A = this chain, B = another copy of it.
Amino acid sequence: MSYEAITAKVRSGGPGASFDQMTHGLNASAKTRVTALLQRNARRYPAGSNIILEGDESDPFFLVLDGWVALNKSLEDGHVQTIDIILPADVIMPSAEGVSAFDVHALTDVTVCAVPMQELDKLEAADPPHMWTSIRALSAAAKARIAERMLRLGQGSAEMRIAYFLTELYLRVSACNDNQDMVFHLPMTQQQIGEFVGLSSVHVCRTLRRLSRNGLIDTSDHLKTVINDFDSIANIAQIDINQLKAEILPSDC
């Protein structure tokens, strides 16, 4: 079963929802123009492929239309660290100077839209305040996410990191959802989760199983991750949910 087919079951809002989110706030004519631009520059990548490699030349700016993307850095010994995970309607900025600071890796089948700088300038000319406000909000949210994760990467236990990971991604996946069922799909192997939270895949497994055995989560159906006891998870992760929501989710949603 494809990733889209799976998430279609779990998420509300079908294909096209990303476009709505991204053009949200624009007037009608700008909206059609931007949507056209996005569709024109859209490209597909299969799960497991690299969209950009660290050190490659790249456009400064990508929009993720669909699928999950990991931003990876790696050491010579082969160890990989995922710096951030990018979800649909979010933005990838591989950094200035035209050279990417990390691998951009497709966790699932992915549709992204490379936005060349001159196109961006055109958009800005069309609707300057909205465009940059929106970008600034997205990148502030990304910074906050990374800081929060870094805190736990440096100071937290394995359990705390996993609990935080589950909470963060649940919040982000269901940010624009109104249903409260605490069920979502994590299209990542335990290896990839480990690369994200700084643990070996073996210990990710052990930690998830412990949470599962204690009834806090349910991973028996590995297409759906269920958080049974959100308060306990948030407590283990040392999260103040409302504060975290305000910080890591772009406000307009």
Q: Which of B93, B99, B153 contacts A198 (CB 8 A)?
A: B153
Q: Tell me if B136 and A75 are in contact (CB < 8 A).
A: no
Q: A73-B148, A101-B144 are in contact. Are A155 and B95 (CB under 8 A)?
A: no
Task: Please state if B147 and A101 are interface contacts (CB–CB under 8 Å).
Answer: yes
Interface window among A14-22, A76-84, A211-219? A76-84
For residue A208, give the distance in angstroms from its CB to the closest CB of chain B: 18
| Contact between B96 and A136, CB atoms less than 8 A apart | yes
Tell me, yes or no, whether A97 is within 8 Å of chain B by CB: yes
In the bound complex, CA of A96 to CA of B135 (Å): 11
- Could you say which residues of chain B place their CB within 8 Å of the CB of A95? 140, 143-144, 247
Inter-chain CA distance A50–B99, complex, in Å, is: 36
Tell yes or no: A150 within 8 A of B by CB: yes
- Which A residues, 81 to 127, have Cβ-Cβ distances below 8 Å to chain B? 81, 83, 93, 95-97, 99, 101-102
B residues in contact with A150, CB < 8 Å: 73, 81, 83, 146, 150, 153
Taking a contact as CB atoms closer than 8 A, the residue among B101, B154, B238 that contacts A247 in the complex is B101
A156 contacts across to B, CB distance below 8 A: 75, 79
Given contacts A95-B144, A146-B150, contact A79 B136 (CB under 8 A): no
Any B CB within 8 A of the CB of A246: yes
A13 proximal to B (CB < 8 A) = no
Q: Which residues in chain A, 132-188, are within 8 Å of chain B measured between CB atoms?
A: 136-137, 139-141, 143-144, 146-148, 150-156
Interface centre among A73, A74, A139, A143 (most CB of B within 10 A): A143
Chain A residues within 8 Å of B, Cβ to Cβ: 55, 71, 73-77, 79-81, 83, 93, 95-97, 99, 101-102, 136-137, 139-141, 143-144, 146-148, 150-156, 195, 197-198, 238, 243, 246-247, 251
A and B contact pairs by CB, cutoff 8 A, 12 listed? A71-B147, A75-B156, A81-B151, A83-B150, A93-B140, A93-B143, A95-B144, A96-B136, A99-B246, A153-B154, A153-B198, A154-B198
